Amino acid sequence: MIIRLMKGLLYLFLACLLIVLLIAGTAWALTFKQVISESHDTPYLRNDIVSIDEPTTELLWEVLLMGDAGDSKLLPWHGTLAMAADIAAEKPEQTSVVMLGDNIYFFGYPNLEAEQTEYDPEQLELIDRLNAQLQIARRSGAELFLVPGNHDWYADQVDTQAQHVSAYAKEHGALVSFRPWVKDAIPFPEVAHRKGVSIIFLDTQWLITADQAGFDQTIAHLKRLIANTVREYPNNLILATAHHPIQTMGPHAQFYTSRGYAFFMALVDLFSEPDQDIHNEPYKRLIAGLNDAFTVDANVIYAAGHDHSLQIFEASSIESLTPAAGKIGPDYQLVSGAAHQNKVSGVGHNDNTLFAVSAEGLMKLSIYSEGAAVEVISSNGDLLHRQWLK
């Protein structure tokens, strides 16, 4: 009798709690306010950007930049990846391709369960999403680098993905590598020096989740890497590549074009400790650390993905922060996270935005002695925008 009474009281309590939560949730939903904006589905160009002059010096190097390709199919081969291979094949000995993270959606490289001895068909399909990107190097002869993103780390590790890339390189004689990566060690930033450009590779997801000691250690390593690069390659452009942008005007900056998605993200913020949006504390720490490291007397461009659009930013000004006028962080920032139409999202602009569009495509950075020119290319090969970054 007592047990039945206690059960009844418990059920009554749970029912009352559910009613209270439903009432509170409904009231919160009705009062939920979030600005819903129009996206730049056609290219936005700031009105002070003028048409580009043709280069007067010879090409030193080209870098193709695209991210968030983790939904790509190998058969049939995803069109934007095939287009990238065609572009890279024009000058493979002078071209680097950098995939800017989230190389396999949704949970990264599949893990074998305890009872598994081989991958099942669904897991093999996920692995082929990575192979679709690696095939760019195999088909073009150019080198290809992959940096990790947050979805790659959702596998709880990136070792298996990095090892797959290494095995692919050996099996196919392809110039592919996963960077930065060292098994069972901090993924300190790495650099590849090429003619006219030094490409730095960062694991920003590791930085976002690192404890303070590991974070400080990694930023200190980055500063030494930059200082050494400036000293040994004083004429090189520094191109930093990572997954998470420093500036963005997409959903990861709370730029929403759908009230439903905005509401969903508000619920996520309410019931979890998110770290993937620029207003989240771990992400704010990342931005501060990167801006500090890249505020140097050198030409620096920072390229990332994460938001699924194509954006170009100039540096933020520090005039309002210090008595001395100047810039903070990289001179220019690129967001190229639209390698697959399935992931393309809305995009807006801020005072630092030079170009923005919500469309599938990639960016090509061409390095000359006189500076770097960026081209924004749609998935069907149309040139959407071209400008100097100097």
Q: Tens digits of per-residue pLDDT, 31-42?
A: 456 788 899 999
Helix (H) or strand (E) holding 354: strand 353-357
For the cut 90, the answer to whether the pLDDT of residue 358 exceeds it is: yes
Distance CA 192, CA 188 (A): 13
For the cut 60, the answer to whether the pLDDT of residue 29 exceeds it is: no
Is the domain of 92 the same as that of 174?
A: yes
* Whether 284 contacts 278, CB under 8 Å: yes
pLDDT score, position 26? 57
Confidence band for 175, pLDDT divided at 50, 70 and 90: very high
Q: Mean pLDDT of all residues in the chain?
A: 92
Which CATH number characterizes residue 224's domain? 3.60.21.10
What is the layout of strands, in order, in the sheet containing 327-336?
44-45, 353-357, 310-317, 327-336, 300-304, 237-241, 197-201, 190-194
- What share of the chain in percent tops pLDDT 70? 92
pLDDT score, position 322? 47
Return the ∠ at Cα 187 (arms to 182 and 192), rounded to 5°. Answer: 85
- Give helix 159-172 / helix 121-140 axis angle, nearest 10°: 50
Helices (DSSP H) in 203-360: which residue ranges? 204-209, 212-232, 259-271, 281-294
* Number of domains composing the chain: 2
Is the domain of 349 the same as that of 300?
A: yes
Give the lowest-confidence range in 164-178, 187-201, 290-304, 323-337: 323-337
Question: What phi and psi, each to the nearest 5 degrees, are found at residue 198?
Answer: -115, 115
Is the domain of 306 the same as that of 344?
A: yes
Specify burial of residue 321 (Cβ count, 10 A radius: 0-12, 13-18, 19+).
Answer: exposed
Give the lowest-confidence range in 313-327, 358-372, 375-389: 313-327
Is the domain of 2 the same as that of 100?
A: no
Tokens representing residue 316 in the block: 């933020």
pLDDT score, position 10? 66
Residue from 71, 96, 92, 145 nearest 339 by CA = 71
Is the domain of 52 the same as that of 111?
A: yes
Residues 6+ apart with CB under 8 A from 300: 237, 238, 239, 240, 294, 329, 330, 331, 332
pLDDT score, position 23? 62
Distance CA 12, CA 14 (A): 5
* Half-sphere exposure (Cβ direction) of 5: Cα atoms closer than 13 Å: 2
Distance CA 81, CA 73 (A): 10
For the cut 50, the answer to whether the pLDDT of residue 332 exceeds it is: yes
Beta bridge partners of 143: 96
Residue from 86, 130, 36, 81 nearest 341 by CA = 81
Is the domain of 360 the same as that of 303?
A: yes
For range 11-15, the mean pLDDT: 75
Is the domain of 2 the same as that of 148?
A: no
Is the domain of 83 the same as that of 204?
A: yes
Specify burial of residue 135 (Cβ count, 10 A radius: 0-12, 13-18, 19+).
Answer: buried
Is the domain of 378 the same as that of 348?
A: yes
Confidence band for 27, pLDDT divided at 50, 70 and 90: very low
Is the domain of 151 the same as that of 257?
A: yes
For range 327-348, the mean pLDDT: 96
Is the domain of 320 the same as that of 221?
A: yes
Is the domain of 385 the same as that of 370?
A: yes
Q: 213-264 pLDDT, tens per residue?
A: 999 999 999 999 999 999 999 999 999 999 999 999 999 999 999 887 888 8
Confidence band for 390, pLDDT divided at 50, 70 and 90: confident
Range of the domain at 23: 1-31
Q: How many CB atoms lie within 10 A of CB 77?
A: 16
**For the chain, how far is it from start to end, CA to CA, in angstroms?**
82
Distance CA 159, CA 144 (A): 18
For the cut 60, the answer to whether the pLDDT of residue 124 exceeds it is: yes
pLDDT score, position 18? 76
pLDDT score, position 276? 97
